[in-house]
Structure 1
Amino acid sequence: MTKQYFTALAAYNSWANDKAMDWLSQVSDEQWEQTLISSFGSVRQTAVHIASAEKIWIDFWIKAPAPAYLTSHFEGPKNELIDIWKTASAGMHNFIKNWPEENYTDAVTFVYPRGGSGQLPYWQTFAHSINHSTYHRGQLITLLRQAGFDKLSSLDQATYYLTHVNS
């Protein structure tokens, strides 16, 4: 649990998100809305879930006065969601770069989407947010393939390190 490691994870997350958002910008409206089988019923719903989670964790970290999950109210177009997701992704990266390592054990209180609350040390919530996004980006790839989108490439963390860190 070091700042260098967490900053590298955030950079990887931003890189993978950028690739996923590029794919989303290329899909047709039919592919975006097509009903498919996964944790969420479409490419759109999965993308909204990822963007919402990344945004809400930042809200919890900064103790925003009224954090709201996008999944509860977002009805905008694809490009608006991509913009929100880009902001959240960059925000996560910037937050960890500026968050002092001595604060990694600070408690973060959060609210579950369906009610109730919890509290974990910051470092655990950050690790969860990265893992959560990775998990659902994998589902997004499967959904995109099911919808007939085939302009995909690797989002593997080793690929990121080989092409951006160790090159």
Structure 2
Amino acid sequence: MTQQYFTTLAAYNSWANDKAMAWLYELSNEQWEQLLTSSFGSVMQTAIHIASAEKIWIDFWTKAPNPIYLSSHFGGSKTELINTWKTASAGVHDFIKNCPEEHYNTPVTFVYPRGGSGQLLYWQTFAHILNHSTYHRGQLVTLLRQVGFTQMSSIDLATYYLTYLN
């Protein structure tokens, strides 16, 4: 695991997030809020979860004094959420890009959403958040199809590699 490896994955994460956010702008309010069966009950709730997770890990990495899960209190508009997600996505990329490899084995303390705390190494948290976002973007694609949105393109890692790294 090298800084280049994690920086590349963080760039992919930002690219895939940007594509997903562009799709969200195309949704009607009904599609955005439609109740569905999944890990989260709507496209909106899934997007809030992804943005919240990316934001909270930045808080944990930077030892923010009072990290708050966005998903516990967000009540803003779709545009406000997308802007928050864009900021968090860029923040994840910037943090990983600027974290020296010698810090990769430093512990990061985090708080679970329902209480309690845990600790992982920086490199483990990087891998976790990038995998977490990918997992939930996959759910987002399924949910978008369920609400009738089909104007999507591939956000696969191989597509990113072929498009931007070759």
TM-score interval (norm. to shorter): over 0.9
Instruction: Say what the alpha-carbon RMSD is for the aligned residues.
Output: 0.4
What is aligned with 2:106?
106
Misfit runs of 4+, over 6 Å: none
Percent identity for Structure 1 against Structure 2 = 77
Q: Letter of the aligned partner of 1:71 in structure 2?
A: S
TM-score (norm 1): 0.99
Q: Letter of the aligned partner of 2:81 in structure 1?
A: L
Residue 7 (structure 1) shift: 0.3
| Cα deviation code 1:29-69 (max 9, x no counterpart) | 00000001110000000000000000000000000000000
Residue 110 (structure 1) shift: 0.2
Residue 107 (structure 1) shift: 0.5
TM-score (norm 2): 0.99
Equivalences, count: 166
| Cα deviation code 1:57-91 (max 9, x no counterpart) | 00000000000001100010000000000000000
**Residue 46 of structure 2 aligns to a residue in which SS?**
helix
What is aligned with 1:11?
11
Residue 147 (structure 1) shift: 0.3
Alignment map for 1:14-163 (pairs within 5 Å): 14-163=14-163
5+ long unaligned stretches in structure 1: none
Task: Find the aligned partners of 1:120 and 1:165 in 2 and give their Cα distance.
Answer: 30
Task: Find the aligned partners of 2:105 and 2:24 in 1 and give their Cα distance.
Answer: 36
Task: Find the aligned partners of 2:100 and 2:34 in 1 and give their Cα distance.
Answer: 43
Task: Find the aligned partners of 2:135 and 2:96 in 1 and give their Cα distance.
Answer: 20
Task: Find the aligned partners of 2:20 and 2:100 in 1 and give their Cα distance.
Answer: 29
Q: Letter of the aligned partner of 1:77 in structure 2?
A: S
